[in-house]
Amino acid sequence: MDKTYHPAAIERRLYEEWEQRGWFAPAGAGAPYCIMIPPPNVTGTLHMGHAFQHTLMDALTRYHRMRGCRTLWQPGTDHAGIATQMVVERQLNAQGQQRSTIGREAFVARVWEWKEQSGGTICRQMRRLGDSVDWSRDRFTMDEGLSAAVTEVFVALYEEGLIYRGKRLVNWDPVLHTALSDLEVIAEPEQGQLWHFRYPLADGSGHLVVATTRPETMLGDTAVAVHPTDERYRHLVGRQVRLPVTGRLVPVIADEYVDPAFGSGCVKITPGHDFNDYEIGRRHGLPLINVLDRDARISAGDCAGEALPAGGIPVELVGLDRFAARQRVVALLEEAGLLEKIEPHSLPVPRGDRSNAVLEPWLTDQWYVKIAPLAAPAIRAVEDGRIRFVPENWAKTYFQWMHNIQDWCISRQLWWGHRIPAWYDAAGAVHVGRSEAAVRAAHGLGPDVVLRQDEDVLDTWFSSALWPFSTLGWPHKTPELGVFYPTSVLVTGFDIIFFWVARMIMMGLKFTGEVPFREVYITGLIRDEHGEKMSKSKGNILDPLDLIDGVDLETLVAKRTSGLMQPQLRPQIEKATRRQFPDGIPEFGTDALRFTFAALASTGRDIRFDLNRIEGYRNFCNKLWNATRYVLMNVEGQELAPAGTLPTALPDRWIRSRLGKAVAGVHEQLALYRFDLAARALYEFTWNEYCDWYLELTKPLLQGADTAPQARAATRRALVEVLEALLRALHPLMPFITEELWRKVAGVAGTSGDTVMLQPYPAAEAFPADEAAEAELAWVQGFVLGIRQIRGEMNIAPGRPLPVLLQDAGAGDRHRAGTQLHFLRQLARLESIRVLEAGEDAPACATALLGGMKILVPMAGLIDLDAERERLTRALAKAEAERTRVEAKLANRQFADNAPPAVVAREQERLRAIGQEISQLGGQLARLG
RNA sequence: AGGCGCGUAGCUCAGCGGUUAGAGCACUUGCUUGACAUGCAAGGGGUCGGUGGUUCGAUUCCACUCGCGCCUACCA
């Protein structure tokens, strides 16, 4: 074995073997355990958030597989409609081509090409992460089977009246030319202006003032609204104003919606271009005028397809972009003397989450899912506990959204996606069915009738919502569906609770009658070391593979600065990257990365990724590697006690007891999804107990001349057995190194099996608690620590053997000093131990306390008297302060009367012990003079 | 506006109604100790954001407050 661990040397080889031998596929007849991967964008790459979640999913998967479950981690990708279409369109544009000129069919073919070309990236990344997904079941949302499920669901919902087509205001992206759902809109406050315009009353008796942030939409105003109780305007309600620029007459109406305190208290109402105005328009039966085209340029104006009522839009405005039109409209009003004032005003501006374009509420025909009937059962499923959120607080977020849920706009004016299964005849009547043939058959439409399929595709999330059952073969009643659905747990981030989690619950319940998963474990979001969200535009992204393999600075800079949406950010990103990683990133290996993710997975919702952490866990890998090296060096080719031999040596008994407790903790924490605590339990056991104490304790046993061969064989057995179990316990978190080491150790341990991943996960009961051994070893540790403390603080060379005297040793102490002598000698580097008889005087010594006993190190030639005096004085002061505290506590009647007796007793014992300590320290100090 | 989260050592984070609040990293000191310098040993460092309350006892529970952040909705 190498002296240090080199992950690159083993990772790929082991993964290939796992995959080739089919070990990821569900096997056996155990209880089913299933996790559905949140499908990443097929043409994307995995970022740190994916790597984090994959680590947790794989840990759960491997853990349950080792516990004998029939375990399926279902992989796959989604087609990411808008994102993918945008990428391919950009490629096209770069070649001087346009989507519109090559046509739909050719374009979709190009997208498929791109998918084939780039789709392998994610699979490669997942393999490097060690993901034990069943690749034979890999699925893609645009696969035939999954597409059939989409059609089936669409038709069924339509036939039940839960999908409808309607002309409504939608969030329109004038750049991508598609409708978006509410969730795809990002509204950030931006600095704008509030324009105050005078709208003359039709009878010439004056004017009223409206305030608006969007002057250009006044071309489509169909009313002015005031609050019904607003005394200033009450008399105007029912009268008419002449809309400037267009000259149309519009009524003054009263509506509760108006806030009299804002602006002038009069609101222009544009039902065609504002969601609130749309509602007001409906309440008051106002006409609806559309003044924008699909590019958000001023159109000639139409009234839901009808001719514009009296008064038109000036020709000079038609065709102007909305922002240019805004300036012209303001100028026109100013020229007409109707501009009262302009105020600066901050307002939320809706932008598309992909295009970043300012969206327009726009009147179009779209398909909607009527959501309330689906939401109600989905709410109940969480309320009654059929689905449990972890941490449970996220249920609140879920409920809040579900209770206010709006109908879901599912049609997108894109070419890449599931085409809507609806056909129109020449008269424009719509027919929905599983295929054109089915539609013709169902409606008796002969071949002479021309049918045209709806041009639109479905929201990508529509197909993602079916993922838990469509991947298992639904609508067919496949065996897998029967075994693995409902799935066990969904692991995902809180950012897609609405997009995905809620919709899966609704669709799952609707189409299978069962919840799609029993638990939802919501992870935090990985951020950079400053707590900033990682994003391409911030230039702070890390590729998980770069942490695994390492990356040089130039490559890293190139990665972070290429393909930027805003190229002007390049210099600052480059500078920051060079500052943060002057030497690039070293190789850490997959296991170190995975252990880091697990250790960071606490309940918080922001997780800062700190390179120092991963470095620490790389060292941990190396520690484990070297511990194994030590074990093998001491065991290989040597005689071992037969398996099942119960250990008798104290260290062997102790480490098994400690392992049992550590393993119990891991089981407990994993059941709670506390990967951080599970990781910590394993880390601390491995490093602080197995390596720091146990391996050191085996040295006198194995290397000392005074140990019987049989005893050595027994210790070798314990050494190997505990390591073997530890490797199994660590495997779900660190699959590669544990596999490599386990294969070396298993043979020696006499365990058969080709792989650790199919071995049983250690049970705590296999290593029962041995409290006597723990107490005994705690005494040894206390002894050793006492000596080390003296050594450390007195600057005594670590190698120098010390003679030690024991004073006030009880019977137990005397016995232990005898039986554990060889351990004390080795670990504390003792020359000799002598027990002082009662009344026997000791020379000047440095002192350590162990229970009632004093451990004395004679000072002659070793110890600085002043230093020891100072040390004792410090300890004494500390002990006295403590005594004061405890005394005060016990003297308090309230405490003595009210606190539980056990607590009071503990304080009394504490007082006794501290009193003893003080007298011992005081005596020792006095002796030093 | 409503909802939620966070604030503990220099940094990143655990923890918890009851001994002296922990870890990793960083820091100081000493070590080529026969697995490991990606290591070993010792050490320094915190009035647990603030105020008030409940309690025998609060870092922990409650209220208020300050600071930071997120989500949903949104007044033209």
ipTM: 0.95
Q: What is the CATH number for A287?
A: 3.90.740.10
DSSP code at position A357: P
Give the predicted TM-score (pTM) of the model. Answer: 0.93
Q: A692 with A792, same domain? A: no
Degrees, nearest 5: CA angle A200-A204-A207: 30
pLDDT confidence tier of residue A301, bands split at 50, 70 and 90 = low
Q: What is the pLDDT at residue A304?
A: 43
Q: Are residues A805 and A745 in the same domain?
A: no
Same domain for A922 and A813, yes or no, is no
**In whole angstroms, how far apart are CA A385 and each of A332, A498, A510, A596, A753?**
61, 19, 18, 32, 40
Beta bridge pairs of residue A517: A487
The spacing between the Cα labelled CA in A781 and the C1' in B17, in angstroms, equals 31
The nucleotide closest to A601 (CA, C1' atoms): B13
DSSP A452-482: EE---EE-HHHHHTTHHHHTTTTTS--HHHH
Domain final residue pick, A311, A331, A360: A360
A23: CB partners within 8 A, 6+ apart: A132, A755, A757, A758
Q: Same domain, yes or no, for A332 and A189? A: yes
Separation between the CA of A573 and the C1’ of B38 (whole angstroms) = 30
Instruction: Check whether residue A837 and residue A890 sit in a common domain.
Output: no
Residue A173: strand pairing partners: A178
| A694 nearest nt, CA–C1' | B35
- Of A303, A334, A360, the last residue of a domain is A360
- Is the confidence at residue A308, as pLDDT, over 60? no
Q: How confident is the model at residue A305 (pLDDT cuts 50, 70, 90)?
A: very low
- Do both A707 and A784 map to the same domain? no
Q: Dihedral, CA atoms, A876, A881, A885, A890, nearest 10 degrees?
A: 40
DSSP H helices, A521-649, are 544-549, 553-561, 570-580, 590-600, 611-635
> Do A197 and A289 belong together in one domain?
yes
Asked whether residue A885's C-beta has any atom of DNA/RNA strand B within 7 A, the reply is yes
DSSP character for A585? Answer: B
Whether A51 contacts A593, CB under 8 Å: yes
pLDDT of A261 reads 84
> Which nucleotide across the nucleic acid strands is nearest to A879, CA versus C1'?
B20
For strand B, which residues in window 179-218 of chain A come within 7 Å by CB?
Answer: 182-183, 187, 189, 210-214
Q: Is the CB of A901 under 7 A from strand B?
A: no
Closest CA to the C1' of B13: that residue is A600
Q: Are A53 and A491 in contact (CB under 8 A)?
A: yes
Q: Specify whether the CB–CB gap between A72 and A57 falls below 8 A.
A: no
Residue A229: give the domain boundaries: 178-360
Q: DSSP letter string over A507-524?
A: HHHHHHSS-SEEEEEEE-
Backbone angles phi, psi at A516, to 5 degrees: -75, -25
Share the mean pLDDT of chain A. 90
Amino acid symbol at A236: L
What pLDDT, in 10s, does the model give residues A525-565? Answer: 998 877 888 888 788 888 999 999 999 999 999 999 887 77
Q: What is the mean pLDDT of residues A431-455?
A: 92
Protein chain A, residues 562-621, with a C-beta closer than 7 Å to any atom of nucleic acid strand B = 600, 602-608, 610, 612-613, 615-616, 618-619, 621
Give the CA A307 to C1' B76 distance in Å.
27
Query: What's the number of domains chain A is made of?
Result: 4
Q: Which of residues 658-687 of A touch strand B (CB under 7 A)?
A: 674, 676-677, 680, 687
What is the structure's pLDDT at A838? 85
* pLDDT band at A923; cut points 50, 70, 90: confident
Residue A160 burial by CB count (10 A; 0-12/13-18/19+): exposed, middle or buried?
exposed
Q: Are residues A713 and A847 in the same domain?
A: no
Establish if A58 belongs to a structural domain.
no
- Please report the pLDDT score of residue A307 as a whole number: 46
Are residues A625 and A733 located together in one domain of the fold? yes
Beta-strand relationship, A845-850 and A853-858? antiparallel
Sign of CA dihedral A467, A469, A475, A476: positive
C-alpha to C-alpha distance for A129 and A52, rounded to whole angstroms: 10
Does an H or E element contain A876, and which?
A: helix A865-891
* Residues 756-785, chain A, CB closer than 7 Å to nucleic strand B: 785
pLDDT over 90 percentage in chain A: 57
Q: How far apart are CA A126 and CA A330, in angstroms?
A: 56
Q: Residue A242: left if φ>0, alpha if ψ -120 to 50, beta else—which one?
A: beta
User: Do A877 and A918 form a contact (C-beta atoms < 8 A)?
Assistant: no
Strand B atom within 7 Å of A789 CB: yes
Contact A362, A170 (CB under 8 A): yes
Tokens representing A694? Answer: 């146990």
- In this structure, the answer to whether residues A902 and A829 fall within a common structural domain is no
* Domain end (from A751, A780, A800): A751
Query: Do A228 and A307 lie in a common domain?
Result: yes
Confidence label for A346 from pLDDT (cuts 50, 70 and 90): confident
Which element (helix H / strand E) includes A780?
helix A771-794
